[in-house]
Structure formats: structure tokens, C-alpha cells
Copies of this chain bind each other. A is one copy, B any other.
Amino acid sequence: MAAANIKQVAKHAGVSLGTVSNVLNRPDLVSPATRQKVLDAITALGYVRNDSARQLRAGRSRTVAILVLDVSNPFFTDVVRGAEAVVEEAGGMLVVCNSGEDPRREQRHLDMLEEQRVQGLLVTPVSDGRHPRLDAFVERGIPVVLVDRGSGHPSRCSVAVDDVTGGRLAAEHLAERGHERIAYVGGPITIRQVADRHLGAATALAERDVPLDLQLVTTPSLSVDAGRQAADDLAALSPDRRPTAVFCANDLLALGLLQGSIAHGLRVPEDIAIVGYDDIEFAAAAAVPLSSVRQPRAQLGRTAAELLLEESINGVGHQHRHVLFQPELLVRASSDHHR
């Protein structure tokens, strides 16, 4: 009982071993009567297929892995849910692994996933740049799709969101509302997303009929605390030098900035307008509902999974693609005020 196998099922049902396998994998090849006998034996013995053996022999797996930078980041959890839907729809199973932004943990996970010969891998690598480690997967016939990283690689698909456009949207919105002293709060600037959003915003402002400057306030991290710090700094400026509008690199910063500004007696958006990025669940629920740039997170996951499965099925005929999604600005109270 502990571990019935196909052989015992075959004996119990009075058929051959191959027939049991056929019932499991190609039931239409088996006559209804035999099929039923086998199914009865299976339930009687509590048989459960051994996937190791199946995978060893069949040479293919049905589990797709997604390796994310941070399981507790809502961005990734939404991506996961999108990917999940597609993989499960296709009869597979999605397992989530967490690198925690630690290259060594990433390495360990990649090693074990390669040993497991997973069907495919969705991954946001810790570092930008080239990823020789991932080429091993591709050579082994395991498709890899990059999520929100290094698009354009010739030997794998990728999905990402256009952060430059996102920055542009936020900055244009603030400029249209009549703001002339606008700041960008974010950092470290070495993070591609932080840099791209800055670039988009700065470019948009510089291109205006009356070009505007984008004051850069760098933060040590993208946390609520860092946002509060930034609020302290801004509140200390004299009103005629203080930015009248701030675009934050993410919502955590923006929420911290919002809270800090209110604590300093600044009115939002009258004294200082704020736009965040990511549209996390709490953006709309903040003391002053937060304007934010929304990324199609679930869509990102869905598309990544679709590309992966397509490559997995099509194999050789597959053409690698790089999908770039467009973000969307949601204007809420924190910036909805004309100067």
C-alpha cells in the first residue's frame, strides 16, 4: 500500500503493465471494460504515478519554474499569478522560487532547476547584463523567458514594461497641471528601472515648448522610510525653492513622502503634488489617494508563460520575441490639482 507501482496495478487488474500505462496516458487506446478494471485497481491500491520515473523515461517535465527577485514584492506576486493561470490552463504546474536578490541563492536555484530538467524557466535575474548560466538551459532544450530584464537577447524571449514611457507619462501629467519645479525622488540610480523612469521623465520635460528641469533627489533605497527622509529634506527648503510636484520611483517612496509631507504640515496636492509608480494595492487607500503609474503585472506573467509554452511546444520552429508593455497613468487626488 505504501507505494504501489504500475506492476502491482497490472497484476491486480489482471492485465499487462503496458496496458496500465496506456490507461494512464492514452486511454482511448484501451477498451472501456479493461480501462475500468484498471481504474478500479488504481483506486483499490491507492496508486499514484511516480513522476520521477515518468520524467526519466518520457524525457519531459510538466513543471514550469519562475525564479523571482523577491516573493514578498507585490509586483512579482502579481506576475506569478498571471503566469500561474496560463501554466495551469495548459495542464502544467508552476513552482515559485525566490532568489531574494542574492546571486548565490539564484545560482543554487538555477542549479537545482537544471538538475530537475524543468519544462521551462521564467526568470528575473539578479544582475542585468549577460547570463551565461541561462545559456546552459537553452542548450539543454529548456526554454528561458526573461521577465522585466535585459530584453533583446537573441537566444531567448523576454517581456518587460516600458519604464521610460512610464516616467514620461508622470512628468507630462505634472507639467500639464502647471507645475514648473518638479523633482524625481528615487535610487539607487544603478537600478535600471529607477534610471529608465528618470530618463523618461527628464526627456519629457526637456522636450516641452518651455523646457523644464527635473531636479534629482537620490535615495539609498526604494522604501517607505527613504520616502519619509526625502520629505524631511524637501520640507526644509523654503517654499519658493521647494518643488511643487514630486515623481517617485515607486509607491513605497511615494507613501513615505506623502506621510512625511503631511506630518510637516504640507498639503497634498496643494503644496506638493505626488505621483508614485507601481500602483500597489495601498496607493488608492492612502491618506490622500495616490496617483501612480500602473504596470500590467499579471499580463506580464501571462505573456511570459505563453511565450515559454509556445517555445516549449514548437521547439525548433520558435521565433524568440521581445514584448514590451506600455504602462498607464492613474490620476488620483495626490496630484489632481491645477496650479
Contact = CB atoms under 8 A, between A and B. Distances in A.
A46 B259 contact: no
Contact of A48 (B3, B84, B140): B140
A97 B93 contact: yes
Interface stretch (A108-116, A165-173, A193-201): A108-116
For the complex formed by this chain, how many copies does it contain in all? 2
Interface stretch (A75-83, A175-183, A208-216, A303-311): A75-83
Interface in A48-80: 48-56, 61-63, 65, 71-72, 74, 77-78, 80
A81 B72 contact: yes
Contacts of A51: 52, 112, 115-117
Contacts of A288: 287
Given A51-B112, A255-B282, A46 B136 contact: yes
B81 A71 contact: yes
Nearest to A285: B224
Contact of A139 (B1, B77, B141, B262): B1
Contacts of A48: 111, 114-115, 136, 140
Interface in A241-285: 255-256, 259, 262, 281-282, 284-285
Contact of A88 (B55, B62, B77, B105): B105
A21 to B, nearest CB: 14
Contacts of A114: 48
Query: What band does the interface of chain A fall in when counting residues whose beta carbon is under 8 Å from B?
Result: 35 or more
Nearest to A4: B140
A259 B281 contact: no
Nearest to A259: B285
Contacts of A282: 224, 255, 282
A191 interface: no
A73 to B, nearest CB: 8
Interface centre among A51, A77, A98, A288 (most CB of B within 10 A): A51
A53 B56 contact: yes
Contacts of A100: 81, 84
Most buried by B among A46, A105, A285: A285
Interface in A284-299: 284-288
Contact of A71 (B53, B63, B80, B93): B80
A115 B56 contact: no
Given A48-B115, A52-B117, 17 more contacts: A2-B139, A48-B136, A51-B112, A52-B55, A52-B61, A65-B95, A71-B80, A72-B74, A84-B100, A88-B105, A93-B109, A93-B112, A94-B98, A224-B284, A255-B285, A286-B287, A287-B287
28 contacts: A1-B139, A46-B136, A48-B111, A50-B115, A51-B112, A51-B116, A52-B116, A52-B117, A54-B115, A62-B112, A65-B95, A71-B77, A71-B96, A72-B74, A72-B78, A72-B81, A77-B77, A80-B98, A81-B98, A93-B97, A93-B109, A94-B97, A95-B95, A96-B98, A224-B285, A259-B285, A282-B282, A287-B288
